[in-house]
Amino acid sequence: MGDVTPEMPQRLLSYLSPGAPALLLTAGADGYPSSAYTWALALGPKLVRFAVDREGTAFANIQRSGLAGLHIIGPNDLAFLVKGTTRKLKDKIAAAPTELMLYEMKVIGARDQSFPGVTANPFTYEWPADHREAMLKMEQAVFAEMRETG
């Protein structure tokens, strides 16, 4: 495990630049943690965009505190927790099939959470075979919209 760095290291940035699945972490009004599946895309070492479900608890939690974390698990023992302050960029990601909003996080810290001798499987979305092609196309459209908004 590494120390907290003030920005995302190059290895994480390279993985997140094209877009990847992540877990969005927030704190509820009761102080307990909450997690939600999301997509994340890095625009630089201090800036990452992610989707937030309008109907989920993460939206209420982010509205209240303006804070969030992203847990990213990728190939080759890549495991990071990224935290920061957030702001809403867009009320609706048009390419998404559900009511997802686009948020941006100013990174205040990234922590390498890999553990020597332990390999975590990358966090991925596996679509049903009969929907796989359409869902992968939609996912790429979401990433393109996340990148181009601004």
Q: What is the DSSP string of 61-78?
A: HHHHH-EEEEEEEETTTE
What pLDDT does residue 116 have? 84
* Burial of residue 129, with CB atoms counted within 10 A of its CB: 0-12 exposed, 13-18 middle, 19 or more buried: exposed
C-beta atoms surrounding 96 within 10 Å: 19
Q: What are the φ/ψ torsions at residue 6 (nearest 5 degrees)?
A: -75, -5
| Continuous segment of H or E residues that includes residue 86 | strand 78-90
pTM, whole model, 2 decimals?
A: 0.94
CA 69, CA 82: separation in Å to the nearest integer?
5
Tens digits of pLDDT across the chain (150 residues): 568 899 999 999 999 999 999 999 999 999 999 999 999 999 999 999 999 999 999 999 999 999 999 999 999 899 999 999 999 999 999 999 899 999 999 999 999 999 888 888 998 999 999 999 999 999 999 999 999 997
Which residues are within 8 A (CB) of 105 and not within 5 positions of it... i.e. 6 or more apart?
A: 47, 48, 49, 50, 68, 70, 82, 84, 85, 86
Q: What are the φ/ψ torsions at residue 135 (nearest 5 degrees)?
A: -70, -40
Helices (H), 54-115: 57-65
**Which CATH fold topology does 4-148 show?**
Pnp Oxidase; Chain A (2.30.110)
Can you give the residue ranges of every domain in the chain? 4-148
What pLDDT does residue 119 have? 84
